[in-house]
Amino acid sequence: MIEIPRLPLAEWIDDGLDVLTGQFAGATKVVSDLMETGIEGTVDALMWLPPGVTIVLAGLLVWRLAGIRTAVFALLGLALLWNLGLWEATLQTLVMVLIATLIAVCVGGPLGILAALSPSAYRIIFPVLDFMQTMPAFVYLIPAIPFFGLGPVAAIFSTVIFAMPPAIRLTTLGIRQVPADLVEAADAFGATRRQKLWKVQLPLAVPTIMAGINQTIMLALSMVVIAAMIGAQGLGGEVWRAIQRNEAGMGFEAGIAVVILAMLLDRITQGIGRRGKDQPNT
């Protein structure tokens, strides 16, 4: 038997991280500080309105987007969160989830289209997605701190890594599922590649893409709780604190708040998906 020495993989990764930190930590910290100010400002602005007013406005918005039954649920659920004293934590979490989702869609959408139209891009992108979805999040939570500092930005970074894959996968799937005869018809009429994409493939893929965004939001919510370990605060912070202090009741209170938020966001995105016959504008 030939002795194969143990590969110093851990050492390589540590050295690589040191190099990356030295090279980029300064730049990413600047971006991170700006983003953190933006997040805090957004939460403050939302907190500036009395919660009662915000809840009614949210109810109206949900009614327009997802129907009257969901709107009633939204009013009751949000009122409960307010009553439990979790209003600010809920807003923090909501802002974090929405920003993470926005980034995931802005980056993931184009990548999904690319993977749908180019087989070689597909072959490169999809294995990377497997990696992103299965690598335990704890592994990159702590190394993210030198780059983004403690708090919401590092949390959003790890959330994007964890939550982006479904947005890419389902965008690709949606475009690939467009019936071939429609694409042929578009070709027959002499549509350019761009016209074909914007007028035929994307509009028909909207429900599937919305399902992807819905999945992204759900994953982002679950990650935001884990990210409390690096000071993300919000509802995850409440859960984390309760667990640390062994207060089961408080933990469940914050947990129920996460569930309510998740159900609301789920119904709203599904509602948009059903009305997805409109022209998508980005």
Partner 1 sequence: MIDKYAVAALAALAAVGTSALAADKGDVELAYVEWSSEVASTNLVKAVLEDMGYDVKITPVSAAAMWQAVGSGDVDGLVAAWLPTTHNHYLEQVSDKVVDLGPNLVGTRIGLVVPAYVEIDSIEDLEGAAERFDGKIIGIDPGAGLMSKTETVLEDYDITDLTLVEGTGPIMTAVLGDAIEKEEWVVVTGWTPHWMFAQYDLKYLDDPKGIYGGEEEIHTIVREGLKEDLPEVYAVLDNFSWTPDQMAELMVMNQERRADPLKNAKLWIAEHPDVVASWMPDNERE
Give Cα 169 to chain centroid, integer Å.
Answer: 14
129, 166 Cβ separation under 8 angstroms? no
Give Cα 239 to chain centroid, integer Å.
Answer: 20
55, 170 Cβ separation under 8 angstroms? no
Considering only residues 224-243, where is the footprint of partner 1 by CB under 8 A?
Answer: 229-231, 233, 237, 240-241, 243
Please state, in angstroms and rounded to a whole number, the distance separating the CA atoms of residues 202 and 175.
6
Determine if 258 is a binding residue for partner 1 (CB under 8 A): no
49, 58 Cβ separation under 8 angstroms? no
Of 1, 188, 190, 246, the one binding partner 1 by CB under 8 A: 246
Residue 32 or 186 with smaller CB distance to partner 1: 32
**Which ranges constitute the DSSP H helices of 67-151?**
68-83, 87-117, 119-134, 138-141, 145-148
66: left (phi over 0), alpha (psi -120 to 50) or beta: alpha
Determine if 146 is a binding residue for partner 1 (CB under 8 A): yes
Determine if 44 is a binding residue for partner 1 (CB under 8 A): yes
Residue 211 or 230 with smaller CB distance to partner 1: 230
The CB-of-245 to partner 1 minimum distance in angstroms stands at 7
236, 226 Cβ separation under 8 angstroms? yes
Determine if 88 is a binding residue for partner 1 (CB under 8 A): no
Of 131, 244, 252, 274, the one binding partner 1 by CB under 8 A: 244
Please state, in angstroms and rounded to a whole number, the distance separating the CA atoms of residues 231 and 263.
25
* 208 HSE (CA, 13 A, CB side): 19
Question: What track of x and - describes contact with partner 1 for positions 188 through 227 (by CB under 8 A)?
Answer: ----------------------------------------
Considering only residues 102-141, where is the footprint of partner 1 by CB under 8 A?
Answer: 102, 106, 141
The CB-of-113 to partner 1 minimum distance in angstroms stands at 17
Of 3, 188, 194, 282, the one binding partner 1 by CB under 8 A: 282
Site residues for partner 1 per CB under 8 A: 21, 25, 29, 34, 37-38, 40-42, 44-45, 102, 106, 141-143, 145-146, 149-151, 229-231, 233, 237, 240-241, 243-246, 281-282
